[in-house]
Amino acid sequence: MADDPKDPGRKGVSRRGFLTSVGTGALSAVAASRVQAEPTERAELLEGAELSKVTLILNGRSRRLLVEPRWSLAYVLREELGLTGTKVGCDRGECGACTVLVNDVPRYACLMLAVEAEGARIETIEGLMEGEALGHTQQAFAEKDAFQCGYCTCGQIMAVEGMLRSSPNPSLAEIRNGVSGNLCRCGAYAHIFAAAERAAELKREGGAS
């Protein structure tokens, strides 16, 4: 029975009193759930932020870093070290835009964790230059116009560079196989093959760099 404002002796819960009590209870429940959730959320954040020490031999220099175990090598190169020549395209090992050399072997940096590269020799597109001068493979790509939009070019160059270190005088079939893991959405493959042949020539004429 509702309270009668004209009869203070009558007992019961008014509509306004009921809504007020329900609202207060709901707010209390929400506040309590937030208090209970805070320790869990804070623990997850702290756990996720744990860092590991790694040492990378990057472009001839030793770099000591603190990284999250989940960070890819591509992320660390770009976001932590500012080496943005390593591009991220598909981010799942299909396009090859993030190709770098790990101990002279082309690898997809998006599929390799930074902690996996501990102690390895890593070379990026920036490491092929001699000061401000282009390296042989970079020069060959420029001479043969082996790019259009240019997004895949850094990965293509690193794939060719790695191939030439294991096969200094490749056949066309070897070149095709060497860059088969790198996609060029512009379709500049004929120029890329020509650039690989020119890079081999430049290396033989001027040394291995």
128-176 residue pLDDT tens:
998 999 999 999 999 999 999 999 999 999 999 999 999 999 999 999 9
* Of 54, 119, 59, residue with least CA distance to 83: 59
CA 162 to centroid of chain Cα atoms: 21
Q: How far apart are CA 128 and CA 142, in angstroms?
A: 14
Q: What mean pLDDT value characterizes the chain?
A: 85
Q: How far apart are CA 93 and CA 108, in angstroms?
A: 6
Please check the confidence at residue 29 and state whether its pLDDT lies above 80: no
Please check the confidence at residue 8 and state whether its pLDDT lies above 90: no
Q: How confident is the model at residue 16 (pLDDT cuts 50, 70, 90)?
A: low
Please check the confidence at residue 123 and state whether its pLDDT lies above 50: yes
Contact 52, 69 (CB under 8 A): yes
Q: How far apart are CA 120 and CA 143, in angstroms?
A: 32
pTM for this entry: 0.76
